[in-house]
Amino acid sequence: MGKKEREERVEKRENYATRRSSEKRRNTLITIGVLAVIVVIVGYSVWQFANMTQEAPGGPEGAGPLNSEHSHAAILVSIFKDTFDFSAQAYQIKSPWIHFEGGDGTTIHKHATGVKLGYLFSSLKLKLDDKCFVFQDGRSFCSKDENSLKFYINREQVNDIRNYDIKDNDKILIVYGAETPEEIESLLLKLDNQSIKDT
């Protein structure tokens, strides 16, 4: 074997070693880059999860963190002297902030500060304002002629309940029809005797 061949062989080995070293360095840099991206994604996910209780998606405007409050209120809705039933599955736990639960349709459960009654009704796909109560199927009960929509909170008549932030043990009455004062008093008495399930 000649000197020239030995030199070529040595040069090939050095070139091969240099290429291998360069490939290893490149693969190491790619691995470090991928790991860095994974660490950033995991870190961001952990941060999002830790802050989820502060601002969970889809929450009502102005509400505090979930579980910042746990209040219960009794509600009675009477439409033309028929009691509306919120115990149906269509009205159970539609929002984590405020809802009916456990097959009970008479106790409102509120799980955050600053959650208004209007949000409860909109989460149930019911439209409610100071003049009309509109059901999911489009039936509407609006104040006109002798029939009117009336609201009572703890026996006091109010003009609107959408912006009311319930307090523990509140009693809320919604009435639509042409009830006499005596019939209203009978509904208020029924509401007074209605139990509040605080589970």
> Do 118 and 185 belong together in one domain?
yes
> Do 79 and 154 belong together in one domain?
yes
- Domain count of the fold of the chain: 2
Question: Is the Cβ–Cβ distance between 191 and 77 less than 8 Å?
Answer: no
By CB atoms closer than 10 A (0-12, 13-18, 19+), residue 71 is buried
> Do 77 and 111 belong together in one domain?
yes
Do the domain assignments include residue 64? no
Do the domain assignments include residue 173? yes
Torsional sign, CA 39, 41, 43, 49: negative
> Do 150 and 184 belong together in one domain?
yes
Show the domain range for 21: 1-51
pLDDT, residue 53, reads 46
> Do 85 and 10 belong together in one domain?
no
Do the domain assignments include residue 31? yes
Whole-number Å distance between alpha carbons of 49 and 153: 37
103, HSE (Cβ side, Cα atoms, 13 Å): 0
Q: How far apart are the first and last CA of the chain?
A: 93
> Do 132 and 169 belong together in one domain?
yes
> Do 106 and 159 belong together in one domain?
yes
> Do 87 and 142 belong together in one domain?
yes
Low-confidence stretches of the chain (pLDDT < 70) are: 1-2, 7-8, 10-14, 16-17, 44-58, 199
> Do 174 and 78 belong together in one domain?
yes
Tokens encoding 65: 């963190």
Do the domain assignments include residue 82? yes
pLDDT, residue 51, reads 53
pLDDT, residue 45, reads 64
> Do 96 and 183 belong together in one domain?
yes
Whole-structure pTM value: 0.71
Residue type, 48: Q
> Do 111 and 177 belong together in one domain?
yes
> Do 36 and 91 belong together in one domain?
no
